[in-house]
Structure formats: structure tokens, C-alpha cells
Chains A and B, each alone.
Chain A
Amino acid sequence: MTRLANAFGKPHPALVCFVTAGDGPTDAVLDALVEGGADVIELGMPFTDPMADGPAIQLANLRALGKGTKTADVFRIATEFRARHPEVPLVLMGYANPMIHRGADWFADQCAKAGVDGVICVDTPPEEDAELGPFLRDAGIATIRLATPTTDAARLPQVLETATGFLYYVSVAGITGLQQAATASIEEAVSRLKAGTDLPVAVGFGVRTPEQAGAIAKVADGVVVGSALVELVGQHGDDAPAKVRELTAALANAVHSAKETAA
């Protein structure tokens, strides 16, 4: 958790990068993200039915599961990442069923042992927080909540009530990887969210290029990029780390300098 606070406490906006565990040479891809300048890592837990994801991340899930990736492998990847990168926050992102299958207490315990800083569970809204949230927070793991364009003012307090770590603003009503939202609407949404919380707000969904990332970083505390990186892993397989490092560096450059150029 303090790792997350540190990452968002830097003098520049944070670059948050998503890849799917077990897809391609994951350990080397994670190293490439860090080397490229990612401030926070989101590691996707593969699931057979990724309902909120677009084609790129769906395929990554299927590739990872096709290679036999197990929950134990996800925790091995996280544990070894923590050993190599003691300071870089790592967040697990995925769907409820693999997280609760052996019991939420078991999952929270594994997260703590592996040095995981936070969890994003896509299909557990605040209404079902009791399923997983209390176990994670008791273990010192942040429960990162999603806010979306459909989260209205009446609902926002409920979303914020169980949110810790940072708030993830999903800038489009839709699945990962496809559309992109207009920067003006993002700016408005972020200021609405920030009026209700002291948590940092990271913005994602549909962010692919350094230009887009830079524009969003002007108005947010962090920018999340997923599908564009996952596609590189899909296209380049064992050769992906170099490509991932290159794109991450360009993204980091745009995100980290966004507020300087604005000032």
C-alpha cells in the first residue's frame, strides 16, 4: 500500500501498465515495463470468461490459460517480481471467481505473501464488497474501485466508501481496448471524482498512444495502458520485451512530462 502511495506521490503523473499473467514471457515483460518507466504494474489474472474485456485481452487470457497458467503461477510471478523490484507497486486485476474459489481469506493471504499491493476485481461492485473486500483490506491490500461514466453523483459515495489505494476511472462505457473518450469529458469526470475523494485518480480504457496518454496525464494522477501492450505481447511472443520496453518508454515520457509542458 505504501508503495502505491509513493508511486502516486511522485512529482509527475503515474504510468500504470497492464499485462496478462502467463501470456508470453511474463517475467521479462514485467521487467521491460519497469525499465521503460512504468510506475505501477497491473497484472491480469487469466479467466475463462473475461466479460469486461475486448478482443485483445480476451485473447491474452485464452493464450495464458492455453499454456496451462494456474493461480499458483500468478502468485509465483508476483512473488518473483517483488523480489526483483522491491519498490514497484503491483496490482492484481481480474474476475471474482478465481479470486474467491479457495476462499477470500486464502486469496488475501496469498496476495500479502506475494507482496501484492492492491486488487481490482472487475465484477465485484461495492454492493458485493463483503465477498472479498474486507479480507483484502484486513491483509493490508488495497481494494481499488472502478468509477465509470455511468457512476452518477448519487452513487459515487458508495463506490468511494470501500475504495483504497487509488480510484480507477474507466473513461468509456464499454469493454477494454476499443474506443477512446474525449479529453474534455475526462477532465470533467476527474474533477468530479476528486471533489469526493483524496485518493489519486488513474484513467484508463482505450488509451493506446503516447499522445493520448500525455493528454490524459494533464488532467489525471495516472494513466492506464493495457490492450496496446497486450497486443505487443501477442504479436511478438518471446521477442515482446524489447517492443514493450520501447512503447512503455514513449508512454512514460509523455505521461511524466505532461504537467510540465502544461505549466
Chain B
Amino acid sequence: MNETAHPNSFRNQPDDRGHFGQFGGRYVSETLMPLILDLEKEYVKAKSDPAFKEEFEDLLANYVGRPSPLYYAERLTEELRKDAPEGMGAQVWFKRDELNHTGAHKINNCIGQILLAVRMGKTRIIAETGAGQHGVATATVAARFGLPCVVYMGAKDVERQQPNVFRMRLLGAEVKAVKAGAATLKDAMNEALRDWVANVHDTFYIIGTAAGPHPYPELVRDFQSVIGKEAREQLLERTGRLPDLLVAAIGGGSNAIGLFHPFLDDPSVKMLGVEAAGHGLDKDHAASLAGGSPGVLHGNKTYLLQDEDGQIVEGHSISAGLDYPGIGPEHSWLKETGRVDYTSATDKEALDAFQLLCRTEGIIPALEPSHAIAAVVKVAREMPRDAIICANLCGRGDKDIFTVADALGVEL
């Protein structure tokens, strides 16, 4: 096979200009350029500063509640074995990042970024949010550090995620509904960038996923890598070996890269990223790798949903957190190198997996990781019984009960 040349390590990206192969980079207006160069400088310093590391780890332990447990889902494993071929049906383990403070992995990254903001002397925080989880996590750390916070959210998402909007307001953040475009996540990100350009002197933009201009994809990945580092240690301790397969849902790709990255140089560990196939890949969906092509948006070059003129096409997913027409650049590169496999799950498959986990394990997952669980349901049956799958349960489902009720035709 004619594969892209394999690097010596998959873990030393990006290059010093922020490129992951042909992806990533810094496609921003000149006004922002000096600022992201500053951020890069500050991040390089922070990385080698023991005080930064110590404060980050202290907050993760005592404020976020890390390490998150690693859990063997015995009843789900047995359920999937029922109709698996003889000898098949892998063990399913979950990394329980839904037990974090604020209910998702998003907080890991927000802690890291707000510490950078404070180091840089910034006094105002902005963020974009889709489902509201990143908005809630940002509002949380802004409250914790006493900084004013503005969260941009598509007007349509404000409508469908009312509980999170109220949470952000309780936490003291101002939620600004964005009516432009399709009024979802990508429009919220446009508006956050516009705010940032106009307020560069005092404002720090906390981006919620492993995308955007360099150094964001790198630093978000590094902050989220706590997931994979813990999982690696916990798996080795509990099972005595490395897992056979890691599975994670992909919106922008932060929880997935956080789980995958520490394992990238372990050749025996396969990895599967799960995009949102919405109504189906031939209809409305949000699977940028499966249905998109490389292009430039929001500061980076990556796979995008776009038309023949390079106009961006709206994503669709039942999960507001996966409803984004792009993906972090490192995933585009990992796809092209072949190191990580990518698949997708439809709205319906995610809903089925959501209910399956509720009933077999007593865990109500968010709709985002329900996509990962849907993929686990498919692949576990094709893997031997002694194989180990570790999936990222990156969020809990409290925020989604209204959406799920609606999809199931139940009136609350």
C-alpha cells in the first residue's frame, strides 16, 4: 500500500509554525497575529514552569475531581456478547470524564487556559459554545478566578439548551445569542473572533476544542491529554496491559485527542474517532472527515464541510456539541497518516446507544459520547472476548434529556 510516510513519532506535532503535516497553521487576520504569537510564547514558558504545572494539577485534583475513574462496564459487555459470534465480544471500559465538575471533559481545558490568561495579565474572558458545556465550563473557571466572562452562543442553541444558558448566567457570565448565519456553533465562533479582534488588549479567548489558530490545537490537546495519561496508567494497573482499541466521539476533537495522544506511539493500540452522521452521510450530517475536504476556517486548515466554491456548509447532529462543520487539524493529519481510524454514528444509532447505557449500566451519557458508544456496540461484537476497548465517556446526559424526550416523542 502506498501510505503517507510514517514519522518516527506521532506525538511530536505540530512543527514550530503550528502545522500538522499540511493541516493547522495560523490563518487569522493581522490584528490577531501578534496576540497569538504572544500566547504561543507564554504557553512555551508555562509548559516548562513547575509552578504552572503544580497549579494546574492542584485544580484538576481538588476542583475538577481528577483522576476520573476507569470503569469496567460489565453488564454492557455481557449485553453485547449475547448476539456476538462464538468467542467474540470485547470487554468495554469507560473513562469517566462525565464525573468531572460541570459534567464533561471541557473543564480540563478551561482550567489550563484560564491559568494562561491570568499569567498574561488578561482581565476579560470570552468563549464560544454549542451545547453549552464549554460555555458552562468557561463561566465556571471565570467565576473561580473572578474575571468577567462573555459567552457567544448561536441563537438556535440558546433555544435548545436553555438549562445550560441559565447555568452560565447563574455563574455570572453574560450569554450573547448570535443570530447570524444558521445561528449555531460556527456562527458563535465567528462572533467570538470578532469580539476578540476588537478587544485584544485585555481579552483572552478560551477556545473550547482542539481547533483554531496555532497554538490552540496544541495547548487544548495538552490540557486534555490528562484523560489519556490517566487512562493509560489505570488500564495498565487494572488489566496489566495496554488496551486494544480506544474510542471517542468527535465534535472538534478535544476529548478524542486527549484520550488518544498519550497512546499514539503504542503501535498495538488502535484508535477510532466517531463523527456525527446526523440523518445519514448522504443527508444532513456533521462528519467533516467522512464527508468533507481540506480547507481553511476559524484560523486553521483542516477537513471542512463545504461546497464546490469553498463556502461552508452547516453541520447537523442531534448532539449540539458535535454540530460543527470542521474538526481539529491534528485529527485531519492522523486520518491522512492512517494512525487513527474514523467512523460515524447517526442520530438514531446514538439515541439507541444512549438508552442502552442508561438501562445496562445506570449511566445517563451525554449525546456526544453516545456516538462513541454506538461505535463500541458495533465493533465490540467483532473483537475477541479478551480484547479491551476503552471509550471516553466525556459528558453526562442531564443537559440532553429534553432533546432525547423530544426525539422519542415523549412530552415532559
User: Given A49-B181, A71-B309, A100-B296, do A125 and B198 touch, yes or no (CB 8 Å)?
Assistant: no
**Main secondary structure on chain A at its contact with chain B?**
loop
* The residue from B299, B308, B311 contacting A123, defined by CB atoms under 8 A apart: B299
Chain A residues positioned under 8 Å from B194 (CB to CB): 51-54, 175
Q: Would you call A152 and B190 a contact (CB within 8 A)?
A: no
Q: Would you call B35 and A47 a contact (CB within 8 A)?
A: no
* Residue A235 is within 8 A (CB to CB) of chain B in the complex: no
Nearest chain-B residue to A178 (Cβ)?
B198
* Residue B402 is within 8 A (CB to CB) of chain A in the complex: no
* Residue A17 is within 8 A (CB to CB) of chain B in the complex: no
**Main secondary structure on chain B at its contact with chain A?**
mixed
Chain B residues positioned under 8 Å from A161 (CB to CB): none
Chain A residues positioned under 8 Å from B295 (CB to CB): 97, 100-101
- Which of B25, B198, B304, B310 has the most chain A CB within a 10 Å cutoff? B310
Q: Would you call B200 and A96 a contact (CB within 8 A)?
A: no
Task: Place the interface of chain A in its size category.
Answer: 35 or more
Task: Place the interface of chain B in its size category.
Answer: 35 or more
Nearest chain-A residue to B311 (Cβ)?
A48
* Residue B312 is within 8 A (CB to CB) of chain A in the complex: yes
* The residue from B29, B33, B190, B296 contacting A97, defined by CB atoms under 8 A apart: B296
Minimum Cβ distance to chain B for residue A136 (Å): 16
CA distance A98 to B304 in the complex (A): 12
* Residue B306 is within 8 A (CB to CB) of chain A in the complex: yes
CA distance A131 to B311 in the complex (A): 18
Chain A residues positioned under 8 Å from B187 (CB to CB): 49
B residues whose Cβ falls under 8 Å from a Cβ of A: 17, 25-35, 37, 180-181, 186-187, 190, 193-194, 197-198, 200-201, 295-299, 301, 304, 306, 308-312
- Can you list 13 A-B contacts (CB < 8 A)? A49-B312, A51-B193, A51-B194, A54-B194, A97-B304, A124-B296, A125-B30, A131-B296, A155-B34, A173-B198, A173-B200, A175-B194, A179-B198
Q: Given A71-B310, A122-B29, 17 other A-B contacts at CB below 8 A? A: A48-B181, A51-B190, A62-B180, A96-B296, A100-B296, A123-B296, A127-B25, A146-B29, A147-B30, A148-B30, A149-B31, A150-B33, A151-B33, A173-B197, A173-B200, A174-B198, A175-B197
Q: Which 3 A-B pairs have the closest CB atoms?
A: A101-B310, A174-B198, A98-B310
A residues whose Cβ falls under 8 Å from a Cβ of B: 47-54, 58, 62, 65, 70-71, 95-102, 122-125, 127-128, 131, 145-152, 155, 159, 170, 172-175, 178-179
